[in-house]
Structure 1
Amino acid sequence: MSHATLIRRRPPEPSRAVVRTQSTEEREYQRRLRQIAALERRFSELDAEVVVLRGALGQFASICDARVGDLLSELRRVSRLAADYEQRVQRLRFGYPPDRLGRPLDEADDDPFSVPGDDATAEPPADQGEARHAIPRDRTRDADIKRVYRDLAKRCHPDYAKTDAERRQREAVMQRINEAFRDRDLETLQSLARQTEASDPTFADRPLHERLAWAEAEVARWDRLLADLKAEYLLLRRGEVHRLWRRHESGEPVLEQLEDDLEARLVAAGRRLDRLVTSYRRALDERQRLSPGLFPTF
Structure 2
Amino acid sequence: MTQDAPGGPTPRNDEEQHTAQRPEARLEAAVRAAEQALIEFEIALETFRVEVENFSRLHHQKLGPMYARLDELDARIAEAVAERSGDPEDRRRAQEARAAVLPMPGVDELFHGWMDSEGLPPEAAAMLSGQSVRPPERVRPSEEARKRYRELVRKAHPDLAQDDTERQRREEFITRVNAAYALGDAETLRELAEEWDAGPVPDEHRFSEAEELYARLEWLSQRKELLAAVAKELEESAIGAMMLLAPDDPDRLLEEIAEQLLAQVAEREKELSGLVE
If the length of structure 1 is used for normalisation, what is the TM-score? 0.36
Larger RCO (CA under 8 A, 6+ residues apart): 1
- Structure 1 or 2, whichever has the larger Rg, is 1
If the length of structure 2 is used for normalisation, what is the TM-score? 0.38
